[in-house]
Structure 1
């Protein structure tokens, strides 16, 4: 166990810098306490730095033509904005496309200058226990679910899907296809009603492209 001591941490919520210490055990933060705590534990003084939360952004349209284009794009849109991790999905319309599209996506990101989290994007009607098991096997932790109507939500075999998700639970995120605000709100409302009742891990709303996410 050791202490990262006197860390100047910027809080975006409170718009101020807090001086705190992190207690580290087994390579994880065990607790956070005031900066000046007297203890014989090994300490690492980081008071000369300012720490900020890392930014995570969603980008569904990364250029994949060549490495130089990807490098320039990533630097302009992410690295210069303090974002070092992106969520980037590959899309399928049918289950049989999963392996092929996943392979293509991974190859396109071999030399990515930013860290990334792979996600799957698909129409709700093709979600199945077998697809969930594929995601678990390939460590795909995020599934974007395309929705253009709320009626399909109550027709899905959620019980079987929930069983397939356990214990490695990919999180479901809605991706609303309708441009009408009233329709979008109706779908989101039903999304939360059904998935809450079925105890399916999900986000309550969409996430926007190239907007900061704190994950």
Structure 2
């Protein structure tokens, strides 16, 4: 679409409506245009605008899918412009090879993507943290079979390994039926992280789009997930039939809302509810600097 801009009084940012002029050039959000010739104005009066959604593939994991491309299209249909694909790690020996092979298997995904390694806490070692930090993954998930497993790890060693990359470590439940996502267990995890100065996320990762705080702690933003200068020009247009409501359930409602139009890197990849995968060749992406925009 070249260089273009639009203005809207209904841009969703930080759970609030903002009036904003959005400029796009060369697939990126920009504050000003390098070349003023041929710039187009796009009219979006009938829509409200939200950033491209960033999902972890919790509801339908790509790793276990017969057709990863089909699964990715489902997320894209919901307005996802970056998909974090879980990679189960079950060994302290072959995990590097497994990581490289999984990246290669994702090469045909029609959506930008990252890899999130998930490791049973009992086999978690400092070399896992160092390696995946060097690979610039957004975070590392640790899986629990029971809360007592937290005592099986030398967390001071994990923190020392984490210092190099600041890659967050988060809690993943092994089995939904076990109730390991309880508030009590998460509080226990947060207290452990506080005691050992482990970098983690302030909220559990669920099937909803990642929050702004999570995007910034992980280093996914500014590259993805926000309408921010030099970030990928990813956004969604939602039909605006009346005055949109903002309340405490807005994040959940944004997750459930299906956009009419989805734009990724400045190009329309979904229009009138139809995904055009011919225009979308997903790229494997790495995070920038974790916690770069977070007050320390």
- TM-score tier, shorter chain, comes to 0.7 to 0.9
**Equivalence for 1:35:** none
Pair 46,172 (structure 1): closer, same or farther in 2 beyond 3 Å: farther
**Equivalence for 1:36:** none
- CA distance in structure 1 between the aligned counterparts of 2:12 and 2:121, rounded to whole angstroms: 38
- CA distance in structure 2 between the aligned counterparts of 1:92 and 1:79, rounded to whole angstroms: 26
Deviation at 1:79, TM superposition (A): 1.8
SS at 2:93 equivalent: helix
Higher relative contact order (CA 8 A, sep 6+): 2
Say yes or no: does 1:104 pair with 2:101: yes
| TM-score, L = length of structure 1 | 0.74
1:125-148 deviation line (CA, Å, top 9, x unaligned): 222211111112222231111012
1:134-193 deviation line (CA, Å, top 9, x unaligned): 112222231111012222324422222112112311111211235344883332221111
**Equivalence for 1:90:** 87
- CA distance in structure 2 between the aligned counterparts of 1:186 and 1:107, rounded to whole angstroms: 39
Q: Which is greater in Rg?
A: 1
Q: 1:213 aligns with which of 210, 213, 219?
A: 210
Deviation at 1:119, TM superposition (A): 0.8
**Equivalence for 2:54:** 56
Deviation at 1:5, TM superposition (A): 7.3
Pair 152,20 (structure 1): closer, same or farther in 2 beyond 3 Å: same
Pair 73,181 (structure 1): closer, same or farther in 2 beyond 3 Å: closer
Say yes or no: does 1:114 pair with 2:111: yes
Pair 197,187 (structure 1): closer, same or farther in 2 beyond 3 Å: same
- CA distance in structure 1 between the aligned counterparts of 2:5 and 2:181, rounded to whole angstroms: 50
**Equivalence for 2:242:** none
Task: Tell me, yes or no, if the aligned pair for 1:91 and 1:101 is still in contact at 8 Å.
Answer: no
SS at 1:95 equivalent: coil
Query: Which one has the bigger strand percentage?
Result: 1
**Equivalence for 2:189:** 191
Deviation at 1:121, TM superposition (A): 0.5
RMSD over aligned Cα, in angstroms? 3.3
Pair 134,81 (structure 1): closer, same or farther in 2 beyond 3 Å: same
Query: Which one has the bigger helix percentage?
Result: 1
- CA distance in structure 2 between the aligned counterparts of 1:196 and 1:45, rounded to whole angstroms: 50
Runs of 4+ deviating beyond 4 Å = 21-24, 27-30, 41-47, 63-66
Task: Tell me, yes or no, if the aligned pair for 2:65 and 2:71 is still in contact at 8 Å.
Answer: no
**Equivalence for 2:20:** 20
| TM-score, L = length of structure 2 | 0.55
Deviation at 1:115, TM superposition (A): 0.6
